[in-house]
Amino acid sequence: MTGGAKPAASSVLIIGGGIAGMSAALTLAEAVERVHLIDSDPEWKVYGAGITITGPTLRVMKRLGILDEVMTQGWTADGILACDQAGKVVANIETGSHTLGGLPGAGGIMRPTLHKLLAERIRQMDIEVTLGVSVTALGEGQPKTVTFSDGSTAEYDLVVGADGIFSATREMVFPGTPAPNYVGQVCWRLMSPRHPGIDRRTYFLGGPMKVGMNPVSPDRMYMFLLEPVKEFERIPDDQLHTRLAELMAPYGGIVADVRGALTPEANIVARPLETVFAPKPWHKDGVVLIGDAAHATTPQLASGAGMAMEDGVVLGESIAASETLDEALEVFIARRFDRCSLVVENSLRLGQLERAGATPIEQIKVVEAALEQLNQPY
């Protein structure tokens, strides 16, 4: 904790040790006397494939002190290539902006790598972390009395729900919030050796499905394919490579090359895309939601992780600069609600265009307009 004026809270509990929770912990620890981060996983593991990074996400990574490591262990590049179904480039979308301070406009990294970098920063700042516990009850009023799954209790000025799209915190504090909604697409994810033709974020548009590829390190890349499906049905693991090959069959160029290299041992995951957008104000009686607990998005704008990290930073800055907790949380919502709404709404719009078979140009226009707004300071 640094010196200066007294912040709006002196003790904060963060529920969830993912990207949003760790980002909040790092920024809050600059001003708050006690920051306590908990996660229900006793091993604090993270699953998942690659993460596509935008320029604004690199900007917030710099604020969190992990940019150099991200650029070393991940991949960064300017521009987004948009290709047609045959693999021919139809547009090069500009991603750079003077508002990014000279940072690259895009990139990628493995999710476990990003988790490790944030966790290392947490340890460097000596932030209190408790693993293998969850919250079973939140008391009324403020400060908030919290009951943990191990039977212990503690009081905090602020409780931060950073526990993901299926947030138990959201259920406790805002029980009427609609459940996560399936949007009619299944996201297929493949980790593979980097194709020599993939040196930046690349989309293949105009076919029966949207396909995207992005390097996540010098020798690895991440591919996603968005399949329109009315109802999701799990496919057995031993059939994943066969089904993915069928879905990729209509595409030429690099997609065809990657398809030809698929084997039964390929690293493939297929999951339904779901979203939730909690109504204002995201906070009540000293509890606030951030990240996917408040605004889980689909991946079309590659901004889910970026919005989660921005939430954490803005929450910490709002607490440090405000005289009261209520004032801090109102400042937080004022800075975050419209920006996060922009991501969710435009991602869903892109999904609708994809399912409708819209032309690449129609889809590109939505991406360009959204990126122009996201490049502005958060």
- Is residue 47's pLDDT more than 90? no
- The per-residue pLDDT for range 366-377, each reduced to its tens digit, is 999 999 999 999
User: What's this model's pTM, rounded to 2 decimal places?
Assistant: 0.94
- The per-residue pLDDT for range 139-160, each reduced to its tens digit, is 998 899 999 999 999 999 999 9
- The per-residue pLDDT for range 171-226, each reduced to its tens digit, is 999 998 999 999 999 999 999 999 999 999 999 998 899 999 999 999 999 999 99
The first and second tokens of residue 22, run together, are 């760790």
Q: In whole numbers, what is the pLDDT of the chain averaged over residues?
A: 94
Say if residues 222 and 269 touch (Cβ distance below 8 Å).
Answer: no
Q: 11-56+110-180+275-357 domain in CATH 3.50.50.60?
A: yes
Residue spans in the chain of domains classed CATH 3.50.50.60: 11-56+110-180+275-357
Of 163, 143, 121, which Cα lies nearest the Cα of 27? Answer: 121
User: Measured in whole angstroms, how far is the alpha carbon of residue 144 from the centre of its chain?
Assistant: 28
**Residue whose token pair is 């596509």:** 52
Q: What whole-number distance in Å separates Cα of residue 91 and Cα of residue 359?
A: 12
Residue spans in the chain of domains classed CATH 3.30.9.30: 67-108+181-274
- Is residue 289's pLDDT more than 80? yes
- The per-residue pLDDT for range 296-348, each reduced to its tens digit, is 999 999 999 999 999 999 999 999 999 999 999 999 999 999 999 999 999 99
Q: 67-108+181-274 domain in CATH 3.30.9.30?
A: yes
Q: What is the pLDDT of residue 69?
A: 96
Q: What whole-number distance in Å separates Cα of residue 96 and Cα of residue 51?
A: 19
Q: Which residues of 262-292 are buried (b: 16+ CB within 10 A; e: fewer)?
A: beeeeebebebbbbbbbeeebbeebbbbbbb
Question: How much of the chain is in helix, strand and coil states, percent to nearest 5?
Answer: 35, 25, 35
One-character DSSP codes across 196-237: TT-SSEEEE-SSSSEEEEEESSSSEEEEEEEEE-SS--PPPG
